[in-house]
Structure 1
Amino acid sequence: MSTAIRSHSLSLKTHLTLVIVAAALVMSAAMGVRQTFGLFIGPFSFDRGVPVTLIAFAIALHNLVWGFAQPFAGAAADRHGAAPVVAFGAAVFAAGLAIAASASSGWALVLGLGVLVGIGISCTSFGVVLTAVGRVATTEQRSLAMGIASAGGSLGQVLMVPLAQAVRLSAGVSTSLLVLAFVMLIAAPLGILLDRRGARGAAAATSVPAATYDHSPPTSLRDTLAHASRHRGYRLLTLGFFTCGFQLAFIATHLPGYLFLCHMPIGLGATALSLIGLFNMAGSWACGWLGGRFRQQIVLGWLYLIRGATIAAFFLLPKSTVSVVLFAAVMGLTWLGTVPLTSGLVAKVFGTRHLGTLFGVCFLSHQLGSFLGAWLGGFVFDMTGSYSLIWGATALASVFAAALHFPIDDTVVDGTRCMT
């Protein structure tokens, strides 16, 4: 029996490793491509005559569409597995980039970068990809496994921004966007490795009990959503996630333009976005590790406070290349570490049976914040000629988020947690 147990344990670890690698690669493509959009605001405005407000609206809209589509993408992955959802999303994402590449008007840009990219990224990011990792990992492994997958996914943020910048400078905006579309198509088949049915099949193939998976009594999706809507901790977590989206979308979209206004060296904006992705690799892993050893809501609260202090210091202190690099490094450490902590907390309280849907609903709040962060940055700049008001709001929002997260009750809801 001990040999069978060791063999089964090795099989599960191998499958978990494959899922983590596939998840990292899919998110590297999706999140890396998304991270480049701020680089195209200037060229679309100066070369094609599209108002900054409309470009910012298109980028903001993909966040909003992503948020509304995420619960449906998560539910589809819960029911059918990740493979078809990721393949569909990658194809739609690539189509949106292709339309943007040939867009001759602002509204074509809205359709491509806004609607289609939003639908595509909902199928190729956290709500589908990380939940696949969460289902395969044990309760003890889950936070760290999600953190590792998120960290690996940050590799795309490091690589895609300089790639898009280099191709744009040498061959133009259209070619750069088409190259990014090709990257998304390459990622489409990786969803096969994420399909949770492979892990369940492995568990069923042996007589050794599989404590890794969710063996809770079947609960309808409607009942689970109703219970979650009445759970105070879930409501606080959902409200707090709004701040994360607001901050990240504003910085990712408008940091290059802000640095240009501050007379910083050309290309420093792209460098800063790449550094955010680089340090996010360490930050996501660290947040996943911390979430496995401390209460996840406490880690989230401190993360928001650190992020808010960093934003305030960057805005108030004199600008230099060193200050930009330091800002990008600290922001990267706190960038997407919220995601494994938030999804891990949802899984801890409600189990993994409907994790894709529950996290998707929570993520909708994040994306409402993302929409406002990206769009409001452009709107305020057009109205005032400055980003000062938005920088102040972005810093103060961290205090609001921390106040929401610290009191969250993480007691496991009876009957929804896997029995380990």
Structure 2
Amino acid sequence: MYAATHPAPPKLSMFQVLACGAAVVTLSMGIRHGFGLWLQPITQEMGWTRQSFALALAIQNLSWGVIGVFAGMVADRFGAFRVLIGGALLYALGLIGMALSPTETLFALTTGVLIGAAQAGTTYAVIYGVLGRQIAPEKRSWAMGVAAAAGSFGQFLMVPVEGFLITSLGWQEALLALSAMVLLIVPLAFWLREPRFAGVAPVVRTQGIGAALSEALRYRSFLLLTAGYFVCGFQVVFIGVHLPSYLRDHGLSPQVASYSLALIGLFNVFGTYISGTLGQRMAKRHILAFIYFARAVVITVFLLAPLTAMSVYIFSAVMGALWLSTVPPTNAAVAQIFGVQHLSMLGGFVFFSHQVGSFMGVWLGGFLYDRTGSYDVVWVLAIALGVLAGLINLPVREHPIARGGAAAVA
């Protein structure tokens, strides 16, 4: 909310925000979605276990979640521009470290901590904060769907590129090439500089960070959304990292794995866009419950059906439609309940739960595989958690929270 003596600062055009925000998410998420392709090349050449590789990516997801809360605070206070610049530089350094780390410890620090911090500053929480502030409420859920669809297109576009780079250059050189590519986020950040953070008009904050976080943590629906997002992280990161190795273990070619991840990305373009659009018309809790229930069904059918290249492609297409389609309704619900003043921070806090789930999914996948020789237990957990997440999203209340008798400012 702005003081009455100051006019509202001008806003960026919707096309500019969507185009640049989508391009940033495409690069950041597209690179990240292909990390599973490096599992076997790195572990085989370095003599490491799958658990050690999985632990580094688990740390990455946890680092992303923890640092994402603080990146959101900085973005809400000073704008996304500075956070995006810092995130891009950390991403490049992390990819270089991933390529050159001689020990498992250094690999965990670079691939895990550095890249996780980079993703915190270059993905949804920060970009959605810009969208929330710059785009009208009646188009907000739709815009978030467009940005999420861009991240999905990034997976469709980047995973085959990463597979090609590994095949043609080698896994180390492929990572060095990506470290240069990710720096394209820097010029894009300049187009996301928000006028309200450039001295056009001072911002009067009606609620401090501590009060906003305390309010959210006391609100049952926020906690339910947060718990559901844990399951989302568990499922998608387990599948994204371990599916290529699962398929190779069952005799399918590396190309099937690459194509499956690309199909997930392609169909997620449609899934996230549709879920964002539906979020303008339907209760977001119903959309989320459907997505989680549907994931449980799809995984069950995939495990019961004979495993062939075609069954993998069908699974990837259907799961892709459900992949990140939780992102727009979850973040739009947070904005609808609490307003946009602290949207990046609150979105980052919800996403922290997602990343704790990601940590558990990717780490348990490696740990239980090394102990049992299969992924069966983790697949069953993914199904059970999907049912649970569907149930806990149903009672979410989406109306704006009342503050002293007034609804939250959208």
TM surpasses 0.5: yes
For 2:358 and 2:220, locate their aligned partners in 1 and report how far apart those are by CA, in whole Å: 23
SS at match of 1:194: coil
For 1:327 and 1:76, locate their aligned partners in 2 and report how far apart those are by CA, in whole Å: 39
2:312 corresponds to which residue?
324
2:169 corresponds to which residue?
171
- Aligned counterpart for 1:143 among listed residues 125, 141, 144: 141
For 2:225 and 2:318, locate their aligned partners in 1 and report how far apart those are by CA, in whole Å: 23
- Aligned counterpart for 1:279 among listed residues 267, 271, 296: 267
- Comparing 279-288 with 409-418, greater Cα deviation is found at 409-418
SS at match of 2:14: helix
Alpha carbons 2:337, 2:408 under 8 Å: kept: no
Q: Does 1:291 align with 2:279?
A: yes
Percent pairwise identity:
38
SS at match of 1:386: coil
Q: Does 1:61 align with 2:59?
A: yes
Q: Does 1:307 align with 2:291?
A: no
Residues 42-81 of structure 1: pairs in structure 2 closer than 5 A: 42-81=40-79
- Comparing 139-148 with 100-109, greater Cα deviation is found at 100-109
1:20 corresponds to which residue?
18
Partner deviation per Cα, 1:168-225 (whole Å, 9 max, x = no partner): 11111111101111111111221222233269999x7xxxxxxxxxx99711111111
How much does 1:91 deviate?
A: 0.5
Distance 1:235 1:158, change over 3 A: same
Aligned length: 399
2:193 corresponds to which residue?
195
- Aligned counterpart for 2:213 among listed residues 209, 225, 229: 225
Alpha carbons 2:401, 2:408 under 8 Å: kept: no
Alpha carbons 2:17, 2:131 under 8 Å: kept: yes
1:270 corresponds to which residue?
258
| Equivalent AA in structure 2 for residue 18 of structure 1 | Q
| Equivalent AA in structure 2 for residue 328 of structure 1 | S
- Aligned counterpart for 2:357 among listed residues 369, 376, 391: 369
2:5 corresponds to which residue?
none
| Equivalent AA in structure 2 for residue 300 of structure 1 | L
For 1:241 and 1:171, locate their aligned partners in 2 and report how far apart those are by CA, in whole Å: 37
For 1:406 and 1:383, locate their aligned partners in 2 and report how far apart those are by CA, in whole Å: 36
Instruction: Please provide the CA RMSD for this pair.
Output: 1.9
For 1:417 and 1:159, locate their aligned partners in 2 and report how far apart those are by CA, in whole Å: 42
Alpha carbons 1:87, 1:191 under 8 Å: kept: yes
- Comparing 371-380 with 187-196, greater Cα deviation is found at 187-196
SS at match of 1:410: coil
- Aligned counterpart for 2:129 among listed residues 128, 131, 146: 131
- Aligned counterpart for 1:109 among listed residues 98, 101, 107: 107
Q: Does 1:350 align with 2:338?
A: yes
Alpha carbons 1:29, 1:187 under 8 Å: kept: yes
2:222 corresponds to which residue?
234
For 1:258 and 1:216, locate their aligned partners in 2 and report how far apart those are by CA, in whole Å: 53
2:3 corresponds to which residue?
none
For 2:95 and 2:205, locate their aligned partners in 1 and report how far apart those are by CA, in whole Å: 43
For 2:186 and 2:242, locate their aligned partners in 1 and report how far apart those are by CA, in whole Å: 29
The alignment's TM-score, normalised by the length of structure 2, stands at 0.94
For 2:110 and 2:379, locate their aligned partners in 1 and report how far apart those are by CA, in whole Å: 28
Distance 1:336 1:216, change over 3 A: farther
- Aligned counterpart for 1:392 among listed residues 357, 380, 384: 380
How much does 1:418 deviate?
A: 6.1
For 1:200 and 1:144, locate their aligned partners in 2 and report how far apart those are by CA, in whole Å: 27
Partner deviation per Cα, 1:333-378 (whole Å, 9 max, x = no partner): 1111111111100000000000011111111110000000011000
For 1:94 and 1:156, locate their aligned partners in 2 and report how far apart those are by CA, in whole Å: 17
1:248 corresponds to which residue?
236
Alpha carbons 1:133, 1:194 under 8 Å: kept: no
How much does 1:105 deviate?
A: 1.7
Alpha carbons 1:81, 1:195 under 8 Å: kept: yes
The alignment's TM-score, normalised by the length of structure 1, stands at 0.91
For 1:221 and 1:19, locate their aligned partners in 2 and report how far apart those are by CA, in whole Å: 25
Alpha carbons 2:400, 2:408 under 8 Å: kept: no
Structure 1 unmatched ranges of 5 or more: 1-7, 205-214
- Aligned counterpart for 1:122 among listed residues 117, 120, 123: 120
How much does 1:266 deviate?
A: 2.7
Alpha carbons 2:339, 2:409 under 8 Å: kept: no
Alpha carbons 1:129, 1:194 under 8 Å: kept: no
Distance 1:348 1:366, change over 3 A: same
1:383 corresponds to which residue?
371
Partner deviation per Cα, 1:232-283 (whole Å, 9 max, x = no partner): 1001111111000000110001000000011112311111111111111111
How much does 1:136 deviate?
A: 1.1
Q: Does 1:39 align with 2:8?
A: no
- Aligned counterpart for 2:401 among listed residues 392, 395, 413: 413
Distance 1:110 1:133, change over 3 A: same
How much does 1:103 deviate?
A: 1.7
| Equivalent AA in structure 1 for residue 186 of structure 2 | A
